[in-house]
Amino acid sequence: MESCRTIPELLQQRVTRDCERPALQYKQAGEFAKWTWGDLHQAVLQTADLLLRHDVAAGDRVAQISENRVEWILVDLATHLLGAIHVPMHSPLTGAQLAQQINDCAPRVTFLSTEAQVAKLGNPTQELQHATSCFVFDRVPSETVTHPQMPRQPFTVSTAPLSDHRIDAIQEQTAAVTDLSVATILYTSGTTGTPRGVVLSQANVISNALAASSAFQYDQSDRRINFLPLSHIFARTCDLYTWLAVGHELVLAESPETMVPDCQATCPTVLNGVPYFFDKLFRSLCEQGLQNQPGVVRAVLGGAIRFCCSGGAPLPVHLFDFYQAQAVPVLEGYGLTETSPVISMSTEQFAKRGSAGKAITGVEIKIADDGEILTRGPHVMQGYYQRPDETDQIIRQGWLHTGDLGHLDEDNFLFVTGRKKELIVTNAGKNIAPVSLEALLTQDPLIMQAMVIGNQRNFLTALIVPDMAALQHKLNAEELSRDPTRSLQDPVVSELFEQVVQARLQDVSHHEQVRKFTLLAEPFSIKRGELTAKLSLRRDQIAEQHDDVIAAMYERT
């Protein structure tokens, strides 16, 4: 597959080689339906024909607002066949956020998954500046309002053979797709909240998928399960396009919440996740007292899992240790939407505790004088959509400035220590990376989330979200009859967390100690704008929403 330069070439080679082999499993009416590569190809051609009949041509944008489902994959691959540009948008976004992105990219066609997504964009007061043909995957009641700029039509999945005449029309457009053709625009707001469209070419995503897949010893007997949102580049490159490159079977989990039963039903051998998933599984096993039982992780994940990969945020070292001890290593990687996404990754042969691995084939990494991680190679985006000034700010002299801080060790393993913009500078002039302190705090079963504060302050404080189930278990074990949701200000509970904070930070320097903290009853959430879609902290938003609490910590002496 190394000779492939575009996603259509990758798909065609896979279908030619493995037409009758198993390709895909997805939930349908409560059971897993199964497709061969031939079934998938026919359904992609049918979807491409639908787009062609609605005048989608090379360079046109095709928007999609959908959770993971088989239709998502069909729209993606069909769009590439026509040389059009796929613009997937994150399904949890609000109607106003989606309208902003639709206005920015002006799609010719938009796909929506459910009635809820239609309703988000159904308000005629929603300012949509461009008319777009709209297809909906689910049946939507007639009374659900459709925006006049988005008249809706049903979309039906079909694996019926397409006529030679229609196939010829599709292939005529496919022939014009090159490695320089734009494949996708992905809107990323990061921790700033300001969305920007990342433009990735066919060469960007293909080079990244091939390099990432070649780093592992996959074969066609592997079975990959996907639950991360395909609207994020991590899952898209490292699940979807890696699947095309390797030719193993892909299972679409019904939802992140059904991952364990879906693993039990399908017995995957590999999966990609984010630290939140691995932490949640670890905490669940701890609550059941099973964390030290040999083989429990493999059993929970279906009995066949070989390894997992983690991205999106740094993996806490206690999770690395736990999964290593369970003989199901979690291999950490690092990247950005702007880098397609993989910059570095760990493998079964090359992994170090606390490291995000080594640069993948074709990718260069260097560390700037101020500690910022820079990268260069075929994975670097074409730029931000219609934002040349912002593109020039992040790509300078061929090097993309990631905004992350880190270092390379003597073996060229990359260690990511935090975000440059998140660096805390105290009144004493001490530079502190809050992410490393937060990782230490959340190692404790009692702490679910933490945000360290202290920029231009005399000392550090923290907002801490307890794990209520773990706290209740702890209180019960110590025979303390208290409702944790009502007793976060209780002196006994405060003293308990004081001990936890001191224990977790006992090995850091004096100026990195958290002097005061406040326990919060409500977790940080995407809905309130406190977390990114990758579950990274939006620090400014959190600080603004808890301004009175933070002020009180610094007023108390």
> Tell me, what CATH number does 543's domain have?
3.30.300.30
DSSP string for 479-542: T----GGG-TT-HHHHHHHHHHHHHHTTTS-GGG-EEEEEE-SSPP-TTTTSB-TT--B-HHHH
Which of these, 382, 317, 375, lies nearest to 344 by C-alpha position? 375
Please compute the mean of the pLDDT values over residues 344-354 and round it to a whole number: 96
Whole-number Å distance between alpha carbons of 39 and 23: 9
- Pair (52, 147) in one structural domain: yes
At 485 the pLDDT is 59
Q: Is residue 2 in some structural domain?
A: no
- Pair (221, 370) in one structural domain: yes
557: confidence class by pLDDT, cuts 50, 70, 90: low
Please compute the mean of the pLDDT values over residues 402-409 and round it to a whole number: 96
Residue with tokens 């339906």: 33
Please compute the mean of the pLDDT values over residues 60-71 and round it to a whole number: 98
Q: Is residue 225 in some structural domain?
A: yes
DSSP secondary-structure letter at 409?
-
Q: Is residue 6 in some structural domain?
A: no
Tell the burial category of 165 from Cβ atoms under 10 Å away from its Cβ (0-12, 13-18, 19+): exposed
At 515 the pLDDT is 95
Which of these, 364, 318, 130, 341, lies nearest to 228 by C-alpha position? 341
- Measure the N-to-C terminal CA separation of the chain; round to a whole number of Å: 64
Residues of the chain above pLDDT 90, percent: 79
Angle, in degrees to the nearest 10, between helices 275-287 and 317-325: 60
Domain stop point among 350, 384, 419? 419
Note the maximum CA span of the chain.
79
Q: Which domain holds residue 450?
A: 426-555
152-180 confidence digits (pLDDT tens): 999 999 999 999 999 999 999 999 999 99
- Pair (169, 257) in one structural domain: no
CATH number of the domain within which 412 lies: 3.40.50.12780
366: confidence class by pLDDT, cuts 50, 70, 90: very high
- Pair (406, 271) in one structural domain: yes
Q: Is residue 155 in some structural domain?
A: yes
427: confidence class by pLDDT, cuts 50, 70, 90: confident
Whole-number Å distance between alpha carbons of 514 and 452: 8
- Pair (400, 269) in one structural domain: yes
Residue with tokens 């797709």: 177
- Pair (91, 233) in one structural domain: no
The encoded tokens of residue 504 equal: 């977790």
The encoded tokens of residue 435 equal: 């992410």
- Pair (310, 214) in one structural domain: yes
- Three-class DSSP labels, 50-65: HHHHCCCCCCCEEEEE
Please compute the mean of the pLDDT values over residues 277-292 and round it to a whole number: 93
3-state secondary structure of 400: strand
At 474 the pLDDT is 84
173 with 194: CB under 8 angstroms?
A: no
At 492 the pLDDT is 85
CA atoms within 13 A on the CB side of 133: 16
- Pair (45, 143) in one structural domain: yes
Q: Is residue 203 in some structural domain?
A: no
Domain stop point among 419, 441, 468? 419
Whole-number Å distance between alpha carbons of 171 and 167: 6
- Backbone φ and ψ of 407, nearest 5°: -150, 160
Please compute the mean of the pLDDT values over residues 290-297 and round it to a whole number: 97
Which of these, 235, 183, 234, lies nearest to 76 by C-alpha position? 183
Which of these, 437, 415, 442, lies nearest to 426 by C-alpha position? 437
385 with 197: CB under 8 angstroms?
A: yes
How many Cβ atoms from other residues are within 10 Å of residue 244's Cβ? 25
| Cis-peptide, bond into residue 148, ω within 30° of zero | no
pLDDT at residue 534 greater than cutoff 90: no
3-state secondary structure of 312: coil
- Pair (434, 549) in one structural domain: yes
- Pair (169, 230) in one structural domain: no
Q: Is residue 202 in some structural domain?
A: no
Residue 467, CA distances (Å) to 81, 442, 448, 473 in order: 47, 10, 5, 10
- Compute the CA torsion angle 391, 397, 398, 404 (nearest 10 deg): -70
37 with 19: CB under 8 angstroms?
A: yes
DSSP secondary-structure letter at 240?
I
- Pair (54, 159) in one structural domain: yes
Whole-number Å distance between alpha carbons of 414 and 384: 26
Domain stop point among 130, 158, 177? 177
- Pair (411, 430) in one structural domain: no
- Enclosing H/E stretch for 186: strand 182-188
Q: Do the strands 109-112 and 61-65 form a parallel or antiparallel pair, or are they unpaired?
A: parallel
Q: Is residue 414 in some structural domain?
A: yes
Whole-number Å distance between alpha carbons of 210 and 6: 11
Please compute the mean of the pLDDT values over residues 10-24 and round it to a whole number: 97
* Overall domain count for the chain: 3
Amino acid at site 453: I
pLDDT at residue 491 greater than cutoff 90: no
CATH number of the domain within which 68 lies: 3.40.50.980
Indicate the range of 284-293, 326-335, 370-379, 426-435 predicted with least confidence.
Answer: 426-435
91 with 171: CB under 8 angstroms?
A: no
Please compute the mean of the pLDDT values over residues 429-446 and round it to a whole number: 91
Which of these, 185, 203, 163, lies nearest to 9 by C-alpha position? 203
Q: Is residue 330 in some structural domain?
A: yes
DSSP string for 37-100: HHHHHHHHHHHHHHHHHTT--TT-EEEEE--SSHHHHHHHHHHHHTT-EEEEE-TTS-HHHHHH
